[in-house]
Structure 1
Amino acid sequence: MGLTKRPDSYYVEFRVIDSADGKSLVLASGVQGARKKRWKVGCLNKTVAREMEAAIKTRILLGQEQTEQAKPVLFKEWAKTYLDMESVKTLRSYQDRVEIMGKQLIPFFGGKILGEIKPADVETYRGQRKKRNGSMASTQTINNDHIVLKHALNVAVRRDLLVSNPAARVPMPDPQNARDRVLSEEEWGKLYQAAKPHLQPVLLLAYQLGQRLSEIVNLTWDRVDLKRGFVTLRSQDTKTKKPRQVPITPDVRGTLQQLAKLRSLATRHVFLYQGEPLKDFRTAFRTALKDAGVIGFKFHDLRHCAATNLRRAGVDTTTAMQIVGHTSPQMWKRYNHIREEDLSQAATKLGKYLQQTTPRTLDGQAESR
């Protein structure tokens, strides 16, 4: 194939296929299905690059150039390559993956050859995973580690470094962590009133529109259309990587209009604290919960409130899912909670409907007696 010069180095390229035993490369210029393989010379000297090209070609002809699959790759080496990949760096969970790799997976799997990791090793990891204080980690925490490991090894499979993914052959148990905490109208009123002024608008968007925390704190004014009444989220703004339009309620519109009047020219962000983009309000949120006397509640539970309120308001499932950003009916059902009062109201509505559309059965029965 020849040489290619790039700013950092010369590169040697050949068209190759794997040998019959899968352990070495075979020159295959013009052969259908052959792939282009590139070697980095490491310098910008063309003479050295020509010598490297000849040496690599000789190794291939002699069957001495191993395939990637034949080369022993340690997990810690692959982990570094994996975390350096652009497709991984763009994931919203990238920083979590870096931490899980560095603090958990590499210390356990780091010295193992990638191809020698077995399902039993994954099971052993799950069994020994502990918190920093030495107690056993929760099932959800262990599952999070497992998901990162599984994805990293899936990428290795796609790159022909592994034949199969051992982490995919180990089941992840259901953490049984579904929450059903929804604020009553009284609790919501107390929480909102107890919140600091900079926190109130954030709580309102989460409670009425069901936006995720990251969607709220990263919201910029170019995403807000007060005239049309929409917040437009781009694919890079959402957890699901799918864009969506969120219609704003009258309360939210009024709040955003007030914030627009005080808008800072120093930043595009909508929600600020002391002139800076709002990032961490955990302390303020905990204080508001305490002052309001609301217990057993998390910020993410506000999405449950929004989903439940949309259903009670009679919004159809498809539209409601679009507003809060759910991609599956199963997730919608998980976030949508039915109280005893809802069931009673449903029976009342059904009774009124039957009275208007069917014969009066009970009166008929009384007359027949």
Structure 2
Amino acid sequence: MGTIYKRGKTWWIKYYQNGKPSYKSSESTKKMVAKRLLDKIEGEIAQGKTPSIHFDKTTFKQLADDLINDYTINGKKSLKRAKQSVNNLQRFFEHYTAQAITTPKIREYVGMRMEEDISNATINRELSALKRMFNLGLQQTPPVVERLPHIPMLKENNARKGYFEHGDFINLHKELPEYLKGFVTFAYKFGWRFEEITGLTWSQVDREQWIVRLEVGETKNDDGRTIYLDEKLKSVFQHQWETRKKREIITPFVFPNKNGNGRIKDIRGSWFKACEVAGIGRRLFHDLRRTAVRNMVRAGIPERVAMMISGHKTRSVFERYNIVNDADLKQASQRQAEYINSLTVTDTVTIVDFG
């Protein structure tokens, strides 16, 4: 049985769990407050539960560290994004305990991020990271959090209509630095992700058959991928190979950085400058991925094959990138009109007067 006792003017409790004594201040000068706290703790222990006061010790920082550790040891490709989410969450919850992170506080955080003009999609990724923190805490033995608070997610509109018409791409291509021209051409043709192209090495290229391969585990969705280069890209890769041989420092990357001695890391400065000079407005590199999908579908490539080339695992995401623009809608209207005009009336038509 536990006991209550005084330290100075404050009442403390002593209780036992698994035969080991623990001590806790009631933070009150009233004996009855300490008695109620002891009864509560002993009741939870009798039910086989971890005393709820243990969860008071768990901090946001502890949950965040556990999340990053989980992503690290499991080799998750989204580790960088998880760290970004944690950094943003930390600005608000840094001095909070897990118990203090309630649904109203989470709504406050969402409000703060919305005032900063952050997209719903980005906020949802941060909320998902917070939810993962609590789930990891619940999975520990014993658990370090008492419950998972309700975390309301925001409605997203993921359909972005950013893409390149061919003329826009040609204008952009002219204004890009030389080291980015082949890099961007490859993205325009096949719609690979930025990291997949920057990480492409010559060991993944068969220069006899002009085949490029990503092995299982080298892509975002862990699937392998094989593509055959067309004549334009054959010349691009041949140029990259010949340029590589002339350099003093030999790099394994097909599309190395400006200095030719390592991997491309950030092209935003050169990219946005080229967009401005080309007069095409502010575009995103990811718009090339959407454009490649749309162009493949328009070219009559079966969707299953197009998905294998671009690396889309689920049809829902692929369909979101298969953008329809005004020209598509106009063409559909024209084709429908041509079809209707080609029909011949073979049945006798009776005009009925409904007046």
The interval holding the TM-score normalised by the smaller chain is 0.7 to 0.9
Tell me what 1:13 maps to. none
Residue 100 (structure 1) shift: 3.3
Match of 1:231, SS state, is strand
Match of 2:79 in 1: 94
Contiguous gaps of at least 5 residues in structure 2: 1-15, 20-45, 351-355
Look up the match of 1:187: 168
TM-fit CA distance, 1:351: 7.8
Q: Could you tell me which of 328, 332, 337 is aligned with 2:318?
A: 332
Give 1:196's aligned residue. Answer: 177
2:299 aligned with 1:323? no
CA–CA separation in structure 2 for the residues paired with 1:306 and 1:25: 63
Residue in 1 aligned with 2:144? 161
Describe the shift of the 1:287–1:230 C-alpha distance in structure 2 as closer, same or farther (beyond 3 A): same
1:270 aligns with 2:282: no
1:72-119 deviations in Å (ceiling 9; x for gaps) = 3222123223323354673333233334324x3234323333245322
Query: Counterparts of 1:112-191 in structure 2 under 5 Å?
Result: 112-129=96-113, 135-159=116-140, 160-162=143-145, 164-166=147-149, 169-191=150-172
Q: Secondary structure at the match of 1:276?
A: coil
State the 1:366 CA deviation. 10
From 250, 260, 284, the counterpart of 1:298 = 284
Structure 1: 5+ residue stretches without partners: 1-22, 27-62
TM-score, normalised via structure 2 length: 0.72
Give the CA deviation at 1:163: 5.0
Deviations 1:124-183 (A, max 9, x none): 22122377xxx44333332232122122222222223335422xx323222435211222
User: Aligned-residue CA RMSD in angstroms?
Assistant: 3.4
Offset of residue 68 of structure 1: 10
Asked if residue 219 in structure 1 is aligned to residue 196 in structure 2, the reply is no
In structure 1, the partner of 2:237 is 256
Residue 228 of structure 1 corresponds to 209
Q: Which amino acid aligns with 2:109?
A: Y
**Contact 2:60 2:95 survives alignment (8 Å):** yes
- In the other structure, the counterpart of 2:95 is 111
CA deviations on 1:183-202 (whole Å, 9 max, x unpaired) are 22211221112222111111
Q: Against the structure 1 CA distance between its residues 218 and 25, is the aligned structure 2 distance closer, same or farther, given a 3 Å change threshold?
A: farther
Residue 227 to residue 106, structure 1, CA distance change in 2 (3 Å): same
Partner of 2:59: 74
Paired residue type of 2:271: F
Q: In 1, Cα distance between the equivalents of 2:165 and 2:112? A: 41
Structure 2 partner of 1:47 = none
Alignment TM-score, normalising by the size of structure 1: 0.70
8 Å CA contact 1:92–1:239 kept in 2: the answer is: yes
User: What is the CA–CA distance in structure 1 between the aligned matches of 2:221 and 2:232, rounded to whole Å?
Assistant: 27
Cα contact 2:191–2:293 (8 A) shared by 1:
yes
CA contact (8 A) 2:60 2:98 kept: yes
Query: What CA distance in whole angstroms lies between the structure 2 residues aligned with 1:161 and 1:301?
Result: 43
Equivalent residues, number: 300
Tell me, what secondary structure is at the counterpart of 2:344? helix
- Whether the aligned pair in 1 keeps the contact of 2:276 and 2:282 (CA below 8 Å) is no
C-alpha distance after superposition, 1:47-80 (max 9, x if no partner): xxxxxxxxxxxxxxxx9xx969845322212322
What amino acid sits opposite 1:362 in the alignment? T
Who is 1:17 aligned against? Answer: none
| Structure 1 residues 191 and 85: alpha-carbon distance in aligned structure 2, compared to 1, 3 A threshold | same
> How many angstroms does 1:266 deviate by?
2.2
Segment drifting more, 219-228 vs 135-144: 135-144
Q: Which residue in the other structure is 1:83 paired with?
A: 68
CA distance in 2, matches of 1:161, 1:235: 36
State yes or no: 1:210 paired with 2:191. Answer: yes
Residues 231, 247 of structure 1: 8 Å contact kept: yes
C-alpha separation in 2, matches of 1:163 and 1:275: 53
Q: Do the aligned partners of 2:312 and 2:318 also contact (CA within 8 Å) in 1?
A: yes
SS at match of 2:227: strand
**Aligned-partner Cα distance in 1 for 2:125–2:239:** 40
SS at match of 2:178: coil
Evaluate the alpha carbon distance shift between residue 112 and residue 25 of structure 1 in structure 2; reply closer, same or farther with a 3 A threshold.
farther
Q: Structure 1 vs Structure 2: percent identity of aligned residues?
A: 26
CA deviation profile, 1:238-297 (whole Å, cap 9, x unmatched)? 222333223333322221122112225621111122222222222211222122111142
* C-alpha separation in 2, matches of 1:361 and 1:80: 69
State the alpha-carbon separation in 2 of the partners of residues 211 and 86 from structure 1.
Answer: 24
